[in-house]
Structure 1
Amino acid sequence: VHMGEGKLTAPGKLEVKGEKGTETLTAKNIIVATGARARDLPFAPADGKRIWTYRHALVPPEMPKKLLVIGSGAIGIEFASFYSDMGAEVTVVEMLDRLVPVEDADVSAFLEKQLKKQGMTIYTGAGVEELKATATGVSAKIKGKDGKVESAEFSHAIVAIGIVPNTENIGLEALGVKTTKGHIDTDAMCRTNVPGIWAIGDVTAPPWLAHKAMHESVISVEAIAGNHPHAMDPRNIPGCTYCRPQIASVGLTEAKAKELGYEVKAGTFPFIGNGKAIALGEAEGFTKTIFDAKTGELLGAHMIGAEVTELIQGYTIGKTAELVEDDFIGTVFPHPTLSETMHEGVLAAFGRPLHI
């Protein structure tokens, strides 16, 4: 481990400026894993006191009483849900027309209904035009989808509008490493366009998830070692949002599958039809599956409800193994478990649900 600031100076060469002065490290292969940081609002950078990024929200100086969350991606919704459960009065502002916009539209609609039921205020198709920290809180101007601008006061604000890759001043430009919007371009084995330079994690293309980064580390090292790992397929990377209710998904949404020209079979099974969910007292939610009507390929799975972040891996294995609908339908799911909703979600796509 060499502590300091690193900069690529040539293929296979890294200059490190640290406590020991300037060191030059050489290697046949170099993996860039510099990650990313939270994106600031240009007119209201986070100060850690009243305006927070996710890092500040993880170690808050105080409990917010009235919280504004700007952005409803996974990070924004997780903190909105957490602080609401802790007793804060929470308002969420999302620029696009629905919450968690990367998820299936049915999941977004269900989540919004549940969060409003829990007492949150939700603005979609809206934007924060002004945000100012004061001695006692935060003042904001919120432009709604109707074009009207409202002024509101909050104790704190969390800015969750995306990330910025840490690619500045590390020598990429001089080496000619290709990037897209700052993120390093890689192939399915994590190679960049420059021989010997590899990249993994949030510094590369989405999805920006910890488990994707960990898997890329294995792929890149195995490839460097001369082995033949399976290529990374973004369609087989599950996404999980740890709000209440939980959200989990893998593969295509129904809208995206149709946009790509698939003839789809989609089915939904509600958690209210599952004995374990009822016994847990968490009967709100559903499992939705999307299949290619012609081949039976599982195109996507979308879940919202109790412990779905644990359940989604079953569909992820199915997608990775290229299972078809008969494989899922013919599998025995134990009773009573939440996993039975996965079986029923597949059956529903083919008009054969058992418990509704």
Structure 2
Amino acid sequence: MSDYDVIILGSGPGGYVAAIRCAQLGLKTAIVERENLGGICLNWGCIPTKALLRSAEVFHNIKHAAAYGLAADNIRADLDAVVKRSRGVAKQLNQGVTHLMKKNKIAVHMGDGTLLGGGKLEVKGEKGSATLSAKHIIVATGARARDLPFAPADGKRVWTYRHAMVPGELPGKLLVIGSGAIGIEFASFYNDMGSEVTVVEMMDRIVPVEDADVSAFLERALAKQGMTILTGAGVEALAVTSKGVKAKLKGKDGATTEQDFSHVIVAVGIVPNTENIGLEAVGIKSERGIIAIDGMGRTNVAGIWAIGDVTPGPWLAHKASHEGVIAAEAIAQALGNKDVHPHAMDKLNIPGCTYCHPQVASVGLTEAKAKEAGYTVKSGTFPFIGNGKAIALGEPEGFIKTVFDAKTGELLGAHMVGAEVTELIQGYVVGKTLETTEAELMATVFPHPTLSEMMHESVLAAYGRALHI
């Protein structure tokens, strides 16, 4: 007799959502967590960083109060208070997840979990060790920041995102290594707070997964805000002292220079947390720690599933949550529930959002990737400067770009940079999920005056029909 129908190892946005969906489906569910309910995203990632960035945004707006006909004198940022607010937001949401576990009657076991095979899982916690058993186990142990081999993070001068979220001091001169979402968000935060920021990216453009037009626009915008952006560049060495960091930087021309910084943030990707959880003992297939799964989250070992950052990317919280729901429903189906009908994830319908200033958001194929995939494309771009609401908000910088299959009118991708685009993108995500074409989007009435009208205009522009430019 199993203790549970399902045990979930890890309580991040993948694990805790999977647990709730399992409980909703009437399955006896437990979750095992070694640190904080809600995982990295809620406690040390997505949520607290947005609180920091909101403080930076408000500070930025106050500094430009005169542009709105307002006067604000002697303004300053209190870094400790900004960090305290961010930690308070994280704490509130951590308590929210704790409440959701109780509400859904999910058993919570705090400690380190290890797979033993045969549906068994050992939990080692403060109260000693216990062996739990379940018909199904979901691995949702997430990931951590990748260290630079020649300069591991020390929390004093060399930081990961975790250190950057609770700084003891404001960096005077900051080097950010990596320009993905995490690197660019922290670069944006510290630049707004008053640090002198340099970003180094080894690819030929920043935010390299985004459309090339978005990368180019963002690079110009960040440079205008005072950042130094080095693309096609690398960090050859870091010499860390108690007073700062001497960095040897190699530029795109191959020349190396030495520069002094007070602090360094390393944002060069993630490493899955799959060591010492028993993968090898039970024979689960993985490559470089990333667990191989099918479209429902099944591993090669019957009864063991995996979701989120321990599986192939994109490594995003909302992708993990959706995978958690898919796996929960597939488990319920396997246990005899005939009312659930899970569908495999379509990764082209997963939006990506970066909360720098200006914001970046996208879904689906970039124009270049669509062409690589063999599509004949029609693409349309509409600028923020042509939108009444954007001008009224004092946010006239940015654009929205849509990419269509010229033959069928299928929406292949959408790419945005500018104010509030992280909220706008969902309109296109719904459209893509419903397999929309340009005809339906053109026939949709968008409210005026809103930023969303630019989404309509971008579609019209792809077909030579834009009205306001």
TM-score (normalizing by structure 1): 0.98
**Match status 1:161 vs 2:274:** no
The corresponding residue for 1:309 is: 422
Structure 1 position 43, deviation (Å): 0.3
Of 152, 163, 173, the match for 2:259 = 152
Structure 1 residue 218 and structure 2 residue 331: aligned? no
Q: Which residue of 2 aligns with 1:90?
A: 197
Residue of structure 2 in register with 1:250 after alignment: 363
Alignment match, 1:272: 385
In 2, Cα distance between the equivalents of 1:22 and 1:135?
Answer: 41
**Counterpart in the other structure of 1:283:** 396
Residues 88-143 of structure 1 show CA distances to partners (whole Å, capped at 9, x for unaligned) of 10000000000000000000000000011111001000000111221111110100
Alpha-carbon deviations, 1:5-53, whole Å to 9, x = none? 2111114111222233332111010010100000000000000011000
* Mapped partners of 1:281, 1:295: distance in 2: 38
- Answer yes or no: is 1:320 the counterpart of 2:407: no
Which residue matches 1:298? 411
- The 2-side partners of 1:180 and 1:246 are apart by 33
**Structure 2 residue aligned with 1:3:** 110
Q: Deviations over 1:236-256 (max 9, x none)?
A: 000000000000000001111
Q: Find the counterpart in structure 2 of residue 132 from structure 1.
A: 239
1:79 CA displacement: 0.3
The match for 1:123 is: 230
Report the number of matched residues.
356
Matched, 1:238 2:351: yes
| SS across alignment from 1:34 | coil
Per the alignment, in what secondary structure is the counterpart of residue 151 of structure 1?
Answer: strand
- Provide the secondary structure at the position in 2 that maps to 1:222: helix
What runs of 5+ residues in structure 1 fail to find an aligned partner? none
| Worse overlay, 5-14 or 264-273 | 5-14
For 2:135, what is the secondary structure of its paired residue?
Answer: coil
Provide the residue aligned with 2:177 in structure 1.
70
- Give the equivalent residue in structure 1 for 2:140: 33
- Following superposition, the deviation at residue 222 of structure 1 comes to 1.5
Contact 1:11 1:195 in 2 (8 A): no
What does residue 458 of structure 2 align with? 345
User: Do the aligned partners of 1:11 and 1:194 also contact (CA within 8 Å) in 2?
Assistant: no
> Residue 4 of structure 1: CA displacement?
2.0
Which has the larger displacement, 30-39 or 179-188?
Answer: 179-188
Distance 1:302 1:220 in 2: 30
Mapping 1:3-22, distance limit 5 Å = 3-22=110-129
The letter for the 2-side match of 1:306 is A
Q: What displacement does 1:214 show?
A: 1.3
The answer as to whether partners of 1:51 and 1:156 remain within 8 angstroms in 2 is yes
What letter is aligned with 1:95? M
* CA distance in structure 2 between the aligned counterparts of 1:189 and 1:11, rounded to whole angstroms: 21
In structure 2, the residue corresponding to 1:212 is in which secondary structure? helix
Pairwise CA distance, 1:148: 0.7
2:157 and 2:193 map into 1 onto residues whose CA distance is 18
2:308 alignment counterpart: 201
SS of residue paired to 2:302: coil
Q: 3-state DSSP class of the match of 1:312?
A: helix
Query: Does residue 1:176 correspond to 2:283, yes or no?
Result: yes
Q: Which runs of 5+ in 2 are unaligned?
A: 1-107, 334-339
Matched with 2:187 is 80
CA separation in 1, counterparts of 2:314 and 2:212? 18
Specify the code of the residue in structure 1 equivalent to 2:110: M
Equivalent residue for 1:141? Answer: 248
Partner of 2:31: none
TM-score between both structures, scaled by the size of structure 2: 0.75
Q: Which runs of 4+ in 1 moved over 3 A?
A: none
Q: Which amino acid aligns with 1:164?
A: V
CA distance in 2, matches of 1:57, 1:217: 29
**For residues 204 and 443 of structure 2, what CA distance do their matches in structure 1 show?**
39
1:237 and 1:181 map into 2 onto residues whose CA distance is: 24
Letter in 2 for 1:335: H
More helix by share: 2
Please point out which of 183, 194, 208 is paired with 1:101: 208
Deviation at 1:278, TM superposition (A): 0.7
2:221 pairs with 1:114: yes
Match of 1:192 in 2: 299
Counterpart CA distance in 1 for 2:168 and 2:346 is 40
| Larger deviation, residues 257-266 vs 14-23 | 14-23
Distance 1:262 1:59 in 2: 46
Q: Which moved more, 1:11-20 or 1:61-70?
A: 11-20
Q: What residue identity is the alignment partner of 2:433?
A: T
